[in-house]
Amino acid sequence: MSHLRLCAFTTAAALVSAAAAPSAIFAQTSVFYTPPKIVKQADTSVSHGDGQVRLKVFVHKDGSVGAVQVEKSSNHANDAAATDIAKHSSYKPGMRDAKPEDAYYTLVLKFSGSSVQAGEGETGDVQAATALIRAGNYAGAKARLQQYLGNHPSDASANVQLGVADSFLNDSAGAAAAFDAAGTVPDTYKTVAAKAYTDAALAQLQAKNNDRAIAYAQKAYALQQNVNTLYVEGTAYANAQEYPQSIAALEHAKALAAQGHADAASQNAIDASLAAAYLLGGDAQKGIALAKAVKQRDPSNTHIDDALTVYYNQRATAAMKAGKTDDAVNALEESAQTLPSHAAQSYVSAANVLAQGAKPDWKRVKAEADKAIAIDPNNARANFVAGIAVANSGDSKTAVPYLQKAKANAGSDTELATQVDAALKKLGVQQ
């Protein structure tokens, strides 16, 4: 009887599986923000003519005025008068969650003859949309802003407000696009914009668009350099297999998390991603040490399991390609010892590696399969490999029960069931 052959149901080249992208580790709560307002416009004795001046006024949380800067002027002869009015007017400070804070205010002064009229640096439509946002009517604000932007697509203020509305509507892609169109995001909206870019990066990670994920993550980090934006940036780089950048971002996130006394779940999430980056980026010693530490703290952490599995399987694959069968088997056995929950599959893979080639050592194949069966007696793949090994060692009678057990436990694995049927038929067993 000719030898039975193992079909390539778990070849070394197919061992690597991609780890799922993690979600963000910190929940970010929405903030209710009200920008500063001018309460009383000051008079000025400085001479002026006709025209319009737009100024950027820094309003302290106590209502006092800080720096004043002319942003745009149709008649620079009015700039001194406009600055004088801005500095001596009265303002209500910006409020975040009912607490006053330092913030910038855009003031537009329209000079006509002897009169000066103050207004905000937004059109009526944008002001109305901003009011809708403050009232929680984000859908209404979005509709109004989209209509306005149809005729004024480059209005930075309108695009910022659209980004805010989209953020509260959980439309991260729309918010990111709006903030992109705005160009510079004002300080008062950087928290909202950073969250929008972070959420957009996570969505792109899930869609496996790694370049887009990195771009969004970088924008989030530029706006807010915190643990969450660093974590997402590091994850995006890891998924793009740019491990040096990933390690740098995740190490920074780890340091900030420790300084800020982040909760255990957050620190474990960062360490799991960092361990994976070390492992796949070529620093196995650091990766394995950190992975084991995380597993001790959080035995249920499947991200660590996935990263270690990929690492050991990559080692086995490389060894097989180099013709180093023993090195491949050693990598898979080390995987089994490090990851008891995946041990049975690792031993089956090791058995399959040994079964390749012109003259397999069937006793070694059977020994690896037996290790898997000792862990999981009903493992269909392990029983199949054991049956093939025994049959090829000349004991067809003993092989049959292994193969029949494999068939009984094949479940939805139709490929395996077909292979078992072919093996049994070759042994002369009637189906």
CATH of the domain at 100: 3.30.2420
Lookup: tokens for 1: 């009887």
Which tens digit of pLDDT belongs to each residue from 255-298?
998 998 888 888 988 999 999 999 988 898 999 999 989 988 98
CA-CA-CA-CA torsion sign (166, 168, 173, 177):
positive
Which tens digit of pLDDT belongs to each residue from 218-268?
999 999 888 888 998 998 898 888 999 999 999 999 999 899 888 888 898
* 149 and 272, same domain (yes or no): yes
Which residues, in sequence order, are bridge partners of residue 88?
none
* 156 and 289, same domain (yes or no): yes
Which residues, in sequence order, are bridge partners of residue 56?
69, 106
Distance from C-alpha of 186 to C-alpha of 161, rounded to nearest angstrom:
11
pLDDT band at residue 4 using 50, 70 and 90 as cut-offs? low
pLDDT band at residue 17 using 50, 70 and 90 as cut-offs? very low
Q: For the range 31-34, what are the long-range contacts, defined as Cβ-Cβ under 8 Å and sequence gap of 24 or more? A: 31/96, 31/97, 31/191, 31/192, 32/96, 32/97, 32/98, 32/134, 33/94, 33/95, 33/96, 33/188, 33/189, 33/192, 34/94, 34/95, 34/96, 34/134
Which tens digit of pLDDT belongs to each residue from 135-190?
899 999 999 999 888 888 888 889 999 999 999 999 999 999 999 999 889 888 99
Distance from C-alpha of 62 to C-alpha of 404, rounded to nearest angstrom:
82
Distance from C-alpha of 272 to C-alpha of 287, rounded to nearest angstrom:
9
pLDDT at 13 over 70: no
Can you give the residue range of the structural domain that contains 94?
51-121
* 131 and 243, same domain (yes or no): yes
The pLDDT of 379-394, averaged and rounded, is 93
Distance from C-alpha of 40 to C-alpha of 57, rounded to nearest angstrom:
14
**Within a domain: 384:** no
* 58 and 153, same domain (yes or no): no
Distance from C-alpha of 342 to C-alpha of 383, rounded to nearest angstrom:
17
Which tens digit of pLDDT belongs to each residue from 73-131?
999 999 999 999 999 999 988 877 678 888 888 888 999 888 888 865 555 678 888 88
Q: Give pTM, 2 decimals.
A: 0.59
pLDDT at 67 over 90: yes
**Within a domain: 39:** no
* 243 and 173, same domain (yes or no): yes
- Residue 388's Cα: distance from chain center in Å? 44
Q: Which of 121, 140, 161 is the last residue of a domain?
A: 121
Distance from C-alpha of 295 to C-alpha of 318, rounded to nearest angstrom:
26
Q: What is the pLDDT of residue 351?
A: 93
CATH code of residue 222: 1.25.40.10
* 142 and 114, same domain (yes or no): no
370 Cβ contact partners less than 8 Å away, ≥ 6 residues apart: 386
**Within a domain: 205:** yes
Task: Give me the phi and psi of 118, to 5 degrees please.
Answer: -95, 145
Q: Side chain identity at 301, as an amino acid letter? A: N
* 141 and 254, same domain (yes or no): yes
pLDDT at 42 over 60: yes
344 Cβ contact partners less than 8 Å away, ≥ 6 residues apart: 372, 375, 376, 379, 382
Which residues, in sequence order, are bridge partners of residue 68?
57
Q: What is the pLDDT of residue 39?
A: 87
DSSP 390-424: HHHTT-HHHHHHHHHHHHHT-TT-HHHHHHHHHHH
Q: What is the pLDDT of residue 95?
A: 78
Q: What is the pLDDT of residue 431?
A: 65
Considering only the C-alpha atoms of the chain, give the largest distance between any 2 of them, rounded to a whole number of Å.
111
* CA nearest to 353, candidates 4, 3, 19, 14: 14
pLDDT at 37 over 70: yes
**Residue 184 DSSP class:** S
pLDDT at 20 over 90: no
**Within a domain: 223:** yes
Q: Which residue has the higher pLDDT, 137 or 357?
A: 137
Q: Which of 297, 315, 347 is the last residue of a domain?
A: 297
Lookup: tokens for 377: 């007696």
Contact predicate 164/133, CB 8 Å: yes
* 133 and 159, same domain (yes or no): yes
Ranges assigned E (strand) in 233-277: none
Q: What is the pLDDT of residue 33?
A: 55
Distance from C-alpha of 339 to C-alpha of 164, rounded to nearest angstrom:
45
Contact predicate 220/197, CB 8 Å: yes
**Within a domain: 93:** yes
- What percentage of residues in the chain have a pLDDT greater than 70? 90
Q: What is the pLDDT of residue 302?
A: 84
**Within a domain: 247:** yes
- The SS3 call for residue 198 is helix
Q: Which of 121, 149, 183 is the last residue of a domain?
A: 121
**Within a domain: 320:** no
* 215 and 115, same domain (yes or no): no
Lookup: tokens for 394: 């000349």
* 258 and 202, same domain (yes or no): yes
Q: What is the pLDDT of residue 9?
A: 28
Q: What is the pLDDT of residue 264?
A: 87
**Within a domain: 418:** no
CA–CA–CA angle 261, 276, 241 (5° rounding): 120
Q: What is the pLDDT of residue 12?
A: 30
Q: What is the pLDDT of residue 286?
A: 94
**Residue 286 DSSP class:** H
Backbone region of residue 56 per phi and psi (left: phi > 0; alpha: psi in -120 to 50; beta: other values): beta
* 95 and 197, same domain (yes or no): no
* 114 and 143, same domain (yes or no): no
What total number of domains does the chain contain? 2
Which tens digit of pLDDT belongs to each residue from 391-420?
999 898 999 999 999 999 999 999 999 999
Q: What is the pLDDT of residue 409?
A: 95
Q: Calculate the alpha carbon distances from 45 to 82, 83, 84, 85, 118 in Å.
A: 11, 12, 9, 9, 16
**Residue showing tokens 């009169």:** 115
Contact predicate 19/206, CB 8 Å: no
Contact predicate 270/239, CB 8 Å: no
